[in-house]
Structure 1
Amino acid sequence: MTAGAHGALLVVGDVVTDIVARHRGPLAAGTDTAASIRKLPGGAGANVACWAAHRGCGDVRLVGRVGRDAAAWHERELLAAGVRPRLVVDEETPTGTVICLVDSEAAAERTFLTDSGASLRLGPGDWSDALLDGVARLHLSGYLLFSASGRALVAVALEAARARGVPVSLDPASAGFLTELGADRFLALVEGVDVLLPSRAEACLLTGLTDAAGAAAALSRRLPLVVAKQGADGALVARGGSVCARVPAVPAVPRDTTGAGDAFTGAFLAALLAGAAPEEATAEGCRAGALVVQRPGGRPPGAGVGPGRDKGDSVSRARGGP
């Protein structure tokens, strides 16, 4: 399917369980800190898929890997959000878990403690070129690049997408893990990606520049389209070595910034699939980002079943190790 055709969004990435702990002020070392704690479905890949469905994409599919411990729960949550999951159930490794420490002061900044679990074992054996049937756009979570099996999967998926003319987007996902991987290695791995969606910190890490606009422009000399997310400062759209649009953020009072970038990406991709120009899609992303930070967790509000399907319309799940 060509880039301009209508079709499904396929997301390949992580599905994890978020433990969100909202506390006020600094953590008290060696003793108790009062917090509000919730268990929520999460994962960058899963969040992107849910937001794309929430913002109007009628056919969103997700490939991920989970442990048997939480497979049924995650599948139900994805179906309820309007996503068609293909969850590989790992019999040896539990579902990934992320502890999100959210400072409930004004900025609502978050710190992650990440055990990627089964999502680290998502690999080429979980891929089939048939996954691209009916797909108009492929999105890859950057977390895939932080394991050997994930990097191999990215290479296979990119080759298959290129063969079919399916455009590919990727979100670098984690400045911390990106530092460990290295900028040069990352940029070599994402060759062939059509749209890169870094945060400001990630764009600067990848270029060695301190200015977000300069970093976005530099990245757009290597990739066709770069959309740099800047939180409360909105987003930058860059092509051909220069910033061509600065899209303002939508004002919001943040409670939890977990998943803000994922919400942006999901809404951005849904808008692109609906025919929006990148600048218009970026504005949609900013609107979704403002919505998600006003509530705990990284998923959209509500759990309505997507149009044209019911809760029984799950794809079959594969099982076993890679």
Structure 2
Amino acid sequence: MTMRRDGALLVVGDVVTDVVARHRGPLAPGTDTAAAVRTLPGGAGANVACWAAHWGCADVRLLGRVGGDSAAWHERELVACGVRPLLVVDPEAPTGTVVCLVDTDASAERTFLTDSGASLRLAPRDWSEALLDGVVRLHLSGYLLFSATGRAVVAEALKSARARGVPVSLDPASAGFLVELGVDRFLALVDGVDVLLPSRDEACLLTGLPDAADAAAKLSRHIPLVVAKQGADGALVARDGAVLARVPARPAAPRDTTGAGDAFTGAFLAALLAGAEPQDAAAEGCRAGARAVERVGGRPRSAT
């Protein structure tokens, strides 16, 4: 799979405010647990866009919906990362907020408490086919599928992309939300996507298979290219019902795994846009993921 290099990547997805609380050991019910707390810009879609720009994609655009309470801050943070923000300001809902609980005694694994706010209110009226002008790849955050208006946006975006011959990738985003949506419904909604980037848990959930390689292979019978992210076990690249490559992870000393999958996806897409083959792009994704877990928050350091 080789992409033209003279075009933009458009990401459509969520922009949220992350409140990251890094604590040591289990939470103490009914009393205080000491933690280092930081407020950072986040959101799976926004993080992917920032990592793609950080990984060398010269023209990255992001369509998302935020509240007026923090729209200016989020726009500044995106610009600082080299992303062109196309933010819709919601007149009613505040920007989504995610509380990320990170246990520093474990493998820096995280637990999310999510208030989606304005991010799941992106609606078809916010989409225009003109958004694809100059775009050679469209990436959709799976979080869009977890609201009726978001699903309508996905349908419109896929229709527009298909009419223009623009390939589309999608990251399922959340195993927990997938359970609520339903596997059959998810697979129907992503018909027309050419690259799916699930986590290991998401791939297994979508197929009912316990082994990630078997799951990726099965998914690739429905979607042309499947790249399953496996964290410390690297990534799997599958096509036409078979695993083509097993890409090893890069060594890392985890501090916060928030956004590691987004880093993988952003770097993977940037590499595809630069003409890399899928297995080489997945290796770039693993490199970005390793870098992401060694810092707090879901984004790379900004250019400023």
Matches within 5 A, 1:225-240: 225-240=225-240
The Cα shift of 1:123 comes to 1.2
Corresponding residue number in structure 2 for 1:275: 275
Contact 2:174 2:202 in 1 (8 A): yes
Matches within 5 A, 1:56-75: 56-75=56-75
Corresponding residue number in structure 1 for 2:42: 42
The percentage of aligned residue pairs carrying the same residue is 81
Contact 2:5 2:274 in 1 (8 A): no
Q: Distance in 2 between matches of 1:51 and 1:268?
A: 9
Contact 1:3 1:167 in 2 (8 A): no
1:190 and 2:190 are equivalent in the alignment: yes
The Cα shift of 1:3 comes to 5.2
Q: Distance in 1 between matches of 2:157 and 2:55?
A: 25
The Cα shift of 1:5 comes to 5.7
The Cα shift of 1:214 comes to 0.3
The Cα shift of 1:105 comes to 1.6
Q: Distance in 1 between matches of 2:172 and 2:10?
A: 17
Corresponding residue number in structure 2 for 1:16: 16
Letter paired with 1:260: A
Corresponding residue number in structure 1 for 2:297: 297
Letter paired with 1:261: G
Q: Distance in 2 between matches of 1:192 and 1:123?
A: 20
Give the TM-score of the pair, scaled to structure 2: 0.98
Corresponding residue number in structure 1 for 2:143: 143
Contact 2:5 2:275 in 1 (8 A): no
SS of the residue corresponding to residue 289 of structure 2 reads helix
Letter paired with 2:207: T
Matches within 5 A, 1:171-186: 171-186=171-186
The Cα shift of 1:125 comes to 0.5
Letter paired with 2:244: C
The Cα shift of 1:6 comes to 2.8
1:158 and 2:173 are equivalent in the alignment: no
Contact 1:3 1:165 in 2 (8 A): no
Q: Distance in 2 between matches of 1:256 and 1:178?
A: 24
Q: Distance in 2 between matches of 1:6 and 1:258?
A: 31
Corresponding residue number in structure 1 for 2:103: 103
Contact 1:106 1:254 in 2 (8 A): no
SS of the residue corresponding to residue 255 of structure 1 reads coil
Q: Distance in 2 between matches of 1:98 and 1:5?
A: 35
Matches within 5 A, 1:249-268: 249-268=249-268
Cα RMSD (Å): 1.0
Letter paired with 1:304: A
Q: Distance in 2 between matches of 1:3 and 1:184?
A: 30
Range moving further from structure 2, 149-158 or 5-14: 5-14
Q: Distance in 2 between matches of 1:3 and 1:249?
A: 25
Contact 1:207 1:218 in 2 (8 A): yes
Which structure 1 residue ranges, 4+ long, deviate > 6 Å from structure 2? none
SS of the residue corresponding to residue 92 of structure 1 reads coil
The Cα shift of 1:4 comes to 3.9
SS of the residue corresponding to residue 131 of structure 1 reads helix
Letter paired with 2:6: H
Corresponding residue number in structure 2 for 1:82: 82
The count of corresponding residues between Structure 1 and Structure 2 is 303
Contact 2:49 2:62 in 1 (8 A): yes
Range moving further from structure 2, 97-106 or 196-205: 97-106
Q: Distance in 2 between matches of 1:292 and 1:195?
A: 22
Stretches of structure 1 that go unaligned for 5 or more consecutive residues are 306-322
Letter paired with 1:147: S
The Cα shift of 1:142 comes to 0.2
Q: Distance in 2 between matches of 1:183 and 1:106?
A: 31
Q: Distance in 1 between matches of 2:3 and 2:288?
A: 24
Q: Deviations over 1:95-127 (max 9, x none)?
A: 000000000024100000000000110011100
